Chains A and B, each alone.
Chain A
Amino acid sequence: MNPVDTQAETTPLDVERIRQDFPILRRKVRGKPLVYLDNAATSQKPQSVIDAISHHYSHTNANVHRGVHCLAEEATEAYEEVRRKVCRFIHADDPTSIVFTRNTTESINLVAHAWGRKFLAEDDEVVLTVMEHHSNLVPWQLLAKDTGCKLRFIDIDDDGHLRTDRLDEYITDKTKLVCMGHVSNALGTINSVRTIACAARAVGALVLVDGAQSAPHGPVNVETLDCDFYAYSPHKALGPMGIGVLWARRDLLEEMDPFLGGGEMIRNVTLERSTWAGVPHKFEAGTPSVADAVGLGAATDYLMDIGMENIRAHEKYIISYAMERLAELPFIRFFGPRDPVDRCGLVSFIDTDIHPHDLGTIVDQHGVAIRAGHHCAKPLMHRLGVVATARASFYIYNDRNDVDALIDSLLAARKVFGL
C-alpha cells in the first residue's frame, strides 16, 4: 500500500451516494442512526453483493467442477471468473495461484500445514512480529510444537512501528519464513513489507503477509510487495463472510502437500492411495462456498469501480480528522503512528478514566458501533501495557460527521462517569 499524494482535506469519494448502496446504513440502533465504526472487524455489504448472492441461488446454483449440465457449467464459470478477478485485484499474474479458503485464518493455517510441516525442522526459525493478530500467531505456535522450529518476534517502538533498524537481530541464517501483518488491526500501522522482505530475501527466507487489514483499504500488489504468500478476508472488503483468499507463488503451491483431503482435490483415488489435482484445486477439498465467491466477485467489482487509490485517499482524509479531534480530548490516549501516511483508517485509544468496555457500551447507546477489547492481539496489548483498547475503524461509507458522532459519544461517556 503506497502513500497517495492527496490532500487530506478532501475526499475523492461521493460518500452520500455510496451510502445509498448500503441498506443496513438506513437502520437505526437504539433509536439513533447507525454510526458503524467497526469495519476492521467486518465491513457492511452493498446491495450489489447481496443481490449477487441471491441471484446465484435463484438462477445459477449447482455444484462446481463436476457436472456436465448447463447449471454446473455456469456455476463453475462464475466461480472461476472470481478467481481471475481476485488475481487482478491484488495484481498477481496467475489466477491459478489464488486459493479460496474460508478466511484469512484458514489461509494462514493452510500455509502452516501444507508448507510449514513439510519444509520446517528443528532449529529452523519463523520470524513474526509482536503486533500480530492471533490468526498469524497461533498457527505458528502449533507448528512450532509439532516441528520443533523456533518463533522469534520483531518488536515495535513507542509509536507502534516495527523495529526495522534491528532486523539483523531477528532475521538470520536460521530464518526460513517471515510472517507479518501488512497493516496492524490493533494499531493501524502500515508496515513496510518491502523492507522486511528484503531482509528475508537476503537470507533466503520466504515472506507471508496477513493482508486482512490492507486488501480492503488500498491498492495491493503482491509483486511489488515482494512476498510469497498473501492472505485476506473478503468479508472485511464488502464481500460475504465464509470465503477467504490465499495467494501464493505458483511454484510453492506446486511443491506443498494438500491441506485437507476429500472431493474436488484429487486426480485419482484407489482404496490404497490418491494423487492430487493440480493447483489450486489441490487445496480446495470439498464443495466450496460458490455463492460467497460470487458475492466476492461483486464486492471486488464495487471496490475496483471506486478505485483502491481513492479509497486509501478517503481513509487518510477521515483518519487525519479523527486523530485531530481525538487529540483535542486530554483524557484520550491513542496508540500507533501519529502520521496518517503510516496509518490506515483505524485508531485504537483509551480514555484514561473509563475502561474500553464501558466506553463501548455507552457509545453504543448513541448508535455508535466501535470495538472494545484486545482485538485478538493479546501479546500486543501486553506490550502496550493495557488489557484492552477501544478501536474506531472507518470505511468508504463513513464521513467526518461519523467522527463527530464518536467524539460526542465519548464526551457523553465522561458525563455518565461524573467526570
Chain B
Amino acid sequence: MAGLDELYREVILDHYRTPHGAKAVDDPNVEVEGHNPLCGDELVMHLDIADGRIRGLHIDPRGCSISVASASMLAQQLEGASLEDALALKKTFQSVMKGAEWPEGFDPGDLEALEGVKKFPVRIKCALLAWMTLEQALAEYDYDLVGEVEADRDIEIVTKKS
C-alpha cells in the first residue's frame, strides 16, 4: 500500500521507537503542555533557554507515531539552536505540512520523511502538535520574539511555568 509506506517510513518508526528529547533537563525556564482535544494526544515540553539559545530540551509525548516522531525530530534539530532559528523552522515545517514545498536549497533533515503525512489530512495535526507547543513555549519566554500566537482549534496549550 503506497500511501502507508509513505506515511510510516522507516526513519519515522526509528524516531518513534527511540525518540530524542527523552532526557529530562535540570532547570527548565519554560514548561508547556500541548493537547489535541480531538484525539486526546498530550505532549509535555520543557525548555532550558540561555543566551538566546535552546540549551536543553525535554519532550514527553503521549501520542501516535506521527506526533512522537515529529516531536523527536524537533528535539534532534533544535537542541542548541537560536530561538530565531527554532521559530523559523516551525514556520517552514508548518507551511510544508499545509501544502508548500521546502524552500530552495533548504535541508529539512529527517523532517522530510513527514511529507507523507500530507496525504492523510486528518493526521497533519498529529505532526504539528510538538511545533505548536514549541511556538507557545517560545512566546512564554519572549513575547516580543514570537508575538501573538494564533489560536488553533485542534490544539490547546497549557503553560505550567514561564
Binding site for B on A (CB under 8 A): 354-358, 361-362, 365, 372-374, 378, 381, 387-388, 416-418
Contact = CB atoms under 8 A, between A and B. Distances in A.
A108 B39 CA distance: 24
Nearest to A366: B1
Contacts of B123: 357, 361
Contacts of B40: 373-374, 378, 381, 387-388
Contacts of B1: 365
B39 A358 contact: no
A374 B40 CA distance: 6
Contacts, number: 48
Contacts of B41: 357, 387-388
Contacts of A355: 63-65, 68
B4 A417 contact: no
A378 B40 CA distance: 8
Interface of B: 1, 3-4, 7-8, 13, 38-42, 62-66, 68, 120, 123, 126
B4 A365 contact: yes
A376 to B, nearest CB: 10
Given A417-B8, A417-B65, 5 more contacts: A358-B66, A361-B120, A374-B40, A387-B41, A417-B13
| Most chain B Cβ neighbours within 10 Å, of A354, A358, A365 | A358
A417 B63 CA distance: 15
24 contacts: A355-B64, A355-B68, A357-B39, A357-B64, A357-B66, A357-B123, A357-B126, A358-B8, A358-B65, A361-B4, A361-B7, A361-B120, A362-B4, A365-B1, A373-B40, A374-B39, A378-B40, A387-B63, A388-B39, A388-B40, A388-B41, A416-B4, A416-B8, A418-B13
A-B pairs, 9 with minimum CB distance: A355-B64, A374-B40, A357-B64, A387-B40, A388-B40, A373-B39, A358-B64, A358-B65, A365-B1
Contacts of A418: 13
Nearest to B120: A361
A362 B1 CA distance: 10
Contacts of A417: 8, 13, 65
A200 B63 CA distance: 40
Contacts of B38: 373
A387 B62 contact: yes
Contacts of B62: 387
Majority DSSP secondary structure for residues of A touching B? mixed
A387 B120 CA distance: 21
A179 B38 CA distance: 25
A24 B39 CA distance: 26
A418 B17 CA distance: 11
Nearest to B38: A373
A357 B42 CA distance: 13
Contacts of A373: 38-40
Nearest to B123: A361
Nearest to A388: B40
Contacts of A388: 39-41
Contacts of A356: 64
Contacts of B8: 358, 362, 416-417
A168 B13 CA distance: 50
Contact of B3 (A365, A381, A387): A365
A415 to B, nearest CB: 10
Contacts of A372: 39
B57 to A, nearest CB: 22
A65 B7 CA distance: 55
Nearest to B7: A361
A356 B62 CA distance: 12
Contacts of A416: 4, 8
A388 B65 CA distance: 13
A356 B40 CA distance: 11
A372 B122 CA distance: 12
Nearest to A418: B13
A228 to B, nearest CB: 32
A361 B121 CA distance: 11
A136 B8 CA distance: 37
Contacts of A362: 4, 8
A387 B38 CA distance: 11
| Most chain A Cβ neighbours within 10 Å, of B40, B42, B63, B126 | B40
Contacts of B66: 357-358
A366 to B, nearest CB: 8
A387 to B, nearest CB: 4
A387 B13 contact: no
B125 to A, nearest CB: 10
Nearest to A359: B64
Contacts of B64: 355-358
Nearest to A375: B40
A358 B39 CA distance: 12
B39 to A, nearest CB: 5
B13 to A, nearest CB: 6
A358 B122 CA distance: 11
Nearest to A416: B8
A366 B142 CA distance: 47
